């Protein structure tokens, strides 16, 4: 290591970026050999997906001076991948993509260490993702992006002034391609919009009315969807259709052909069947390469600071000529996933019921006050949040929430409606919130209810950062023993 | 951010050596689940509709709705629908199936439902309440224009009296043509 101080690295271009000062650099950029070495030594990057984009990303990142890479992908290599997923060969068909991709890049780029993970992203513990400095996404679905985004934003913590704590920020670089179009974006949770902030930008999926499929098919896609959605269930009662099973796909294709002949519709082919059923748009190798290059570059920028990062969404369109544009999207300040939420501090003894007398009797000092009202048939729980609750929260707008339902880490603590759920959760009202939350000193709670805004009742869904007083990150011994 | 990464990497090594004391695995709540939580907690169902959660109070993503029409051809029947909600709800509409075999122009014998807001006209501003009201509407106003059960639609269009008696027969449990319907009254 010591002699690398004088030797240029094998990449002259990388040296130009990392060893020399510049005018357009990011904050805290300190060019030099140490930076180059630190990138190799300390930056840990996860590549999610080892498909068309993933192969390119692994190669690009390995050649950009990163040494510690890991890759996760649940798929096995198929023949149809080979035209663009250039790390794979005919003899690899059937093997896990992550493993083969890691092996091939390590063979070609000396010194790089790539750890493959052949599994679903949901199968990994959440903490697995916390070990990486940057997560680079080469995915093809909204679901998977949304999941990784939620995980990465889940690590984000806000200080009491609602500023994100830098050491908890997990930056992501997201790439995506569809035929000749693609995008690359930088997501710095708490700073730039997260995936969920802008999810509404996705166009709705094209879905044909079932009755059109059943009665009046007009094109080849209608015939295919008929075979896929209606005929399949009719014939294979109870057996789920598996889009990755070639036998299933062939069956749908042959049924679609029959249907098309019946209505005199041309154009049903096997590849169109796959396209319609799996929502596949032909992938273009060069689009992947361009998008991947943009993503790898952004990753290097985030890590080293040799240049300011893209802010924050690049779109590429190569359909006719070439068009590239960068748009700066804005955060949704009320985003449930990356937003700061409302900070609330509570005593560990606060139960839903205990607070009744306090909030009814005296001024509201608790931040979280629950008035329980004995209605004819049961309890109606009213959460009054943030009213006057003093100095630390002065910056917050008043937030008056009635008819609140509370959920914490997938557990529904209290539900206003429907009656079946209200009944099931009613007993929680008398328990301390601290206990209900598993005696965690601070955590996120989500509350839905009705709020009064400008004298108009609107329903809302809010994120709360609940912190319990007197517990400093460490659970008291006697508290822990009590459970 | 490399300075930060460096510090964190060193902390990570220390933590690993100290065998970080057992953090319980955290369940990730998707944005879809949160939105659904809101939808469910704001449900405002007519008396003719019921809802149950077969997997308990913490799984809202899978539930069943029963509809008992209080007027029209289907008066007196009870119809069960299953709802499956995806993690990217409301970007994607819930998958709704009718679990009760029903003689209906817009519901086929496999339980597929032809309701525009479940497919082509779904929008994220719609919610579970809207869907349930939509389903309810199918029973009070069956629509022979967009048939999924072709024969039932033809009968409704050409001979409403016969349609009515067919519906009665199916709901009471019996054959309509070649198809057997189990009792749902």
Per-residue pLDDT tens over the stretch A311-352: 999 999 999 999 999 999 999 988 989 998 888 777 777 665
Residue A107 has what pLDDT? Answer: 95
E strand map for A242-329: 313-317, 323-327
Per residue in A153-200, pLDDT (tens digit) is 999 999 888 899 998 999 999 999 999 999 999 999 999 999 999 988
Half-sphere exposure of B112 (CA within 13 A, CB side): 23
Can you tell me the distance from the alpha carbon of A144 to that of A186, in angstroms, rounded to the nearest whole number?
A: 17
Q: Hey, how many other C-beta atoms are within 10 angstroms of the C-beta on B24?
A: 8
The mean-pLDDT minimum among A142-146, A261-265, A413-417 falls in A413-417
Q: Is B88 on the interface with A (CB under 8 A)?
A: yes
| A71 closest CA partner among A115, A16, A27 | A115
Residue B18 has what pLDDT? Answer: 61
Which residue in B has a C-alpha nearest to residue A426's C-alpha?
B57
| B118 closest CA partner among B92, B137, B93 | B93
Which residue in B has a C-alpha nearest to residue A201's C-alpha?
B91
| A441 closest CA partner among A401, A469, A460, A403 | A469
The mean-pLDDT minimum among A290-294, A472-476, B1-5 falls in A472-476
CB contact residues (below 8 A), chain A span 260-319, against chain B: 302-305
Residues of A with CB below 8 A from B43's CB? 417-418
Q: What percentage of residues in chain A have a pLDDT greater than 70?
A: 83
Contact A190, A158 (CB under 8 A): yes
Residue A483: pLDDT band (50, 70, 90) is: very low
Q: How far is A117 from chain B (nearest CA, A)?
A: 19
CB contact under 8 A, A211 and B146: yes
Q: Is A411 on the interface with B (CB under 8 A)?
A: yes
Per-range mean pLDDT, top range of A63-72, A370-379, A380-389, A467-476:
A63-72
Contact A412, A425 (CB under 8 A): yes
Q: What percentage of residues in chain A have a pLDDT greater than 90?
A: 49
From residue B120, alpha-carbon distances to A109, A140, A151, B90, B124 in Å are 49, 22, 31, 14, 12
Q: Is A418 on the interface with B (CB under 8 A)?
A: yes
Q: CA angle A235-A241-A242, nearest 5°?
A: 145
DSSP single-letter state for residue A96: B
- Mean predicted lDDT score pLDDT of chain A: 82
Q: Does the pLDDT at position A246 exceed 90?
A: no
Q: Does the pLDDT at position A434 exceed 60?
A: yes
Q: Is B19 on the interface with A (CB under 8 A)?
A: no
Q: How far is B28 from chain A (nearest CA, A)?
A: 7
Contact B128, B40 (CB under 8 A): yes
pLDDT beneath 70, residues of chain B: 16-28
Residues of A with CB below 8 A from B123's CB? 204
Q: Is B95 on the interface with A (CB under 8 A)?
A: no
- Chains A–B, number of C-beta pairs less than 8 Å apart: 170
Residues of B with CB below 8 A from A279's CB? none
The pTM assigned to this predicted structure is 0.82
Q: Hey, how many other C-beta atoms are within 10 angstroms of the C-beta on B40?
A: 24
Contact B76, B183 (CB under 8 A): no
Residues of B with CB below 8 A from A210's CB? 112-114, 119, 148
Residue A268: pLDDT band (50, 70, 90) is: very high
Residues of A with CB below 8 A from B112's CB? 210, 229-230, 233
Residue A334 has what pLDDT? Answer: 86
Question: Any idea which residues of A carry the catalytic annotation?
Answer: 211
Q: Are strands A44-48 and A401-408 parallel, antiparallel or unpaired?
A: unpaired
């Amino acid at each position: 290591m010591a002699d690398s101080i004088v030797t240029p690295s094998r990449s002259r271009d990388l040296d130009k970026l990392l060893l020399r000062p510049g005018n357009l650099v990011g904050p805290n950029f300190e060019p030099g050999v140490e930076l180059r070495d630190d990138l190799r030594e300390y930056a840990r990057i996860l590549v999610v997906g080892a498909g068309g984009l993933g192969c390119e990303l692994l190669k690009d990142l390995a050649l950009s001076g990163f040494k510690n890479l890991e890759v996760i992908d649940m798929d096995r290599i198929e023949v149809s991948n080979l035209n663009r997923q250039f790390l794979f060969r005919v003899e690899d068909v059937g093997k896990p993509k992550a493993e083969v991709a890691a092996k091939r890049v390590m063979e070609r780029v000396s010194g790089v260490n790539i750890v493959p993970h052949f599994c679903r992203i949901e199968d990994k513990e959440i903490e697995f993702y916390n070990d990486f400095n940057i997560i680079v996404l080469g995915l093809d679905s909204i679901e998977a992006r949304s999941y990784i985004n939620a995980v990465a934003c889940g690590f984000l913590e806000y200080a009491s002034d609602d500023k994100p704590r830098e050491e908890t920020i997990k930056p992501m670089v997201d790439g995506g391609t569809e035929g000749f179009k693609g995008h690359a974006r930088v997501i710095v949770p708490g700073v730039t919009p997260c995936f969920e902030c802008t999810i509404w930008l996705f166009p709705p999926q094209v879905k044909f009315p079932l009755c059109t499929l059943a009665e009046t098919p007009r094109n080849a896609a209608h015939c295919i969807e008929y075979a896929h959605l209606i005929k399949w269930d009719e014939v294979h009662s109870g057996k789920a259709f598996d889009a990755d099973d070639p036998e299933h796909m062939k069956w749908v294709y042959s049924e679609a052909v029959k249907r098309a002949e019946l209505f005199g519709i041309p154009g049903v082919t096997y590849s169109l069947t796959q396209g319609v059923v799996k929502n596949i748009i032909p992938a273009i190798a060069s689009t992947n390469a361009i998008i991947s290059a943009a993503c790898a570059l952004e990753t290097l920028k985030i890590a080293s600071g040799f240049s300011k990062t893209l802010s924050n969404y690049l779109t590429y369109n190569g359909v006719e000529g070439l068009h590239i544009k960068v748009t700066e999207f804005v955060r949704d300040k009320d985003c449930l996933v990356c937003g700061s939420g409302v900070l609330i501090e509570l005593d560990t003894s606060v139960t839903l019921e205990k607070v009744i007398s306090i909030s009814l009797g005296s001024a509201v000092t608790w931040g979280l006050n629950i008035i329980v009202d004995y209605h004819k048939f049961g309890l109606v729980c009213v959460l009054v949040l943030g009213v006057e609750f003093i100095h630390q929260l002065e910056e917050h707008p008043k937030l008056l929430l009635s008819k609140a339902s509370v959920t914490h880490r997938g557990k529904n603590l209290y539900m206003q409606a429907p009656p079946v759920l209200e009944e099931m959760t009613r007993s929680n009202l008398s328990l301390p919130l601290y206990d209900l939350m598993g005696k965690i000193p601070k955590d996120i709670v989500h509350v839905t209810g009705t709020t009064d805004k400008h004298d108009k009742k609107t329903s809302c869904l809010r994120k709360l950062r609940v912190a319990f007083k007197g517990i400093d990150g460490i659970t008291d011994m006697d508290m822990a023993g009590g459970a | 951010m490399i300075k930060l990464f460096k510090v964190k990497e060193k902390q990570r090594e220390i933590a690993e050596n100290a065998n970080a004391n057992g953090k319980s695995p955290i369940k990730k709540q998707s944005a879809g689940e949160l939105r659904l939580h809101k939808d469910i907690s704001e449900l405002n169902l007519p008396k003719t509709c019921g809802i149950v959660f077969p997997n308990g109070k913490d799984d809202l993503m899978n539930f069943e709705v029963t509809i008992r029409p209080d007027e029209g051809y289907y008066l007196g029947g009870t119809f069960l629908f299953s709802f499956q909600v995806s993690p990217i709800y409301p970007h994607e509409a819930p998958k709704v199936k009718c679990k009760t075999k029903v003689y209906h122009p817009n519901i086929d014998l496999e339980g597929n439902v032809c309701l525009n807001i479940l497919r082509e006209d779904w929008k994220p501003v719609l919610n579970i309440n809207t869907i349930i009201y939509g389903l309810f509407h199918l029973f009070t106003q069956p629509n022979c224009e967009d048939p999924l059960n072709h024969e039932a639609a033809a009968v409704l269009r050409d001979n409403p009296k016969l349609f009515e008696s067919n519906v009665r027969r199916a709901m009471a449990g019996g054959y309509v043509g070649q198809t057997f319907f189990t009792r749902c009254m």
